[in-house]
Structure 1
């Protein structure tokens, strides 16, 4: 149970759903944003589109140059992904830049989310220890891993894959 404004506990069944989407600009994360919208609309749930940024190892070198470029680059990726996913940004989708490595940041965020949605193949590719693997293994809420739409064969239009959860 969560505490209400007056100190009383609010049962989980009465809390407003909240969906967090990990965004890295990949086709899979853009598809994840679209899936989040489809799930959030009927629930009147807010969607938070999280783009994580951090300073690469060897941080000392970057002190002289500055770290704002990393945050700016992540913001550009986030804005581009949102514009690729939606013609017009829905009012219930809120972009968020968060400093930190994606896996631990998203896992920690999952403590206060109803669902976490991530793409299967981000820009880091799908390797053991990837963001989607870590989130599925350690998140505190349900995790939906979204595949990118399959690439179109010569001249064909690819249809996104979908799944129905009972």
Structure 2
């Protein structure tokens, strides 16, 4: 029997590492595969105005995102569990990237930074928007408490 896929939004923050740990524990219970997703965007001044002053022209932001994601997975999980996670990086808005990867998944897991209602409204909230628009169940991992294995 084929098992499902759990998509986890990872940005390297502590809440996203907690979300990755939670997703890993859930995957151990259900037999699902874990897919850790990190989005990246070009700096705002790329485009018609040219590159950000001081940045090398050959800067590969995608490669940096991939390395950052792999480091986050290795930091969050034991080596054997980290090896089972599929890392996915994609250029785009973080919310949209997570929602796109969640198509066909059985679950999406995201961390919440807890910025508060007013700041979240001003800055936009990946976890809030994902819960509203995902086509599958969503778990938002809040706080720093870790569950026992």
TM-score by length of 2: 0.80
Helix, strand or coil at the partner of 2:79: coil
Provide the rounded CA distance (Å) in 2 between the counterparts of 1:66 and 1:101: 22
User: Which is worse superposed, 82-91 or 17-26?
Assistant: 82-91
Which residue is 1:96 aligned to? 88
Q: In the alignment, is the contact (CA less than 8 A) between 1:54 and 1:101 conserved in 2? A: yes
- Following TM superposition, by how much is the alpha carbon of 1:161 offset from its aligned partner in structure 2, in angstroms? 6.1
Q: Does 1:127 align with 2:117?
A: no
* Number of residue pairs aligned between Structure 1 and Structure 2: 137
- Following TM superposition, by how much is the alpha carbon of 1:144 offset from its aligned partner in structure 2, in angstroms? 0.6
Structure 2 gaps of 5+ residues are none
- Following TM superposition, by how much is the alpha carbon of 1:48 offset from its aligned partner in structure 2, in angstroms? 0.3
The runs of at least 4 consecutive aligned structure 1 residues that moved more than 3 Å come to none
Which residue is 2:39 aligned to? 52
Helix, strand or coil at the partner of 1:16: coil
Provide the rounded CA distance (Å) in 1 between the counterparts of 2:92 and 2:59: 13
Which residue is 1:160 aligned to? 146
Structure with higher RCO (Cα < 8 A, 6+ apart): 2
- Following TM superposition, by how much is the alpha carbon of 1:136 offset from its aligned partner in structure 2, in angstroms? 0.8
TM-score by length of 1: 0.72
Structure 1 gaps of 5+ residues are 1-13, 150-158
Q: In the alignment, is the contact (CA less than 8 A) between 2:114 and 2:142 conserved in 1? A: no
Paired residue for 2:6, among 1, 6, 19?
19
Paired residue for 1:137, among 124, 132, 135?
132
- Following TM superposition, by how much is the alpha carbon of 1:122 offset from its aligned partner in structure 2, in angstroms? 8.5
- Following TM superposition, by how much is the alpha carbon of 1:127 offset from its aligned partner in structure 2, in angstroms? 1.1
Paired residue for 1:81, among 56, 69, 72?
72
Paired residue for 1:62, among 51, 54, 67?
51
Provide the rounded CA distance (Å) in 2 between the counterparts of 1:74 and 1:51: 7
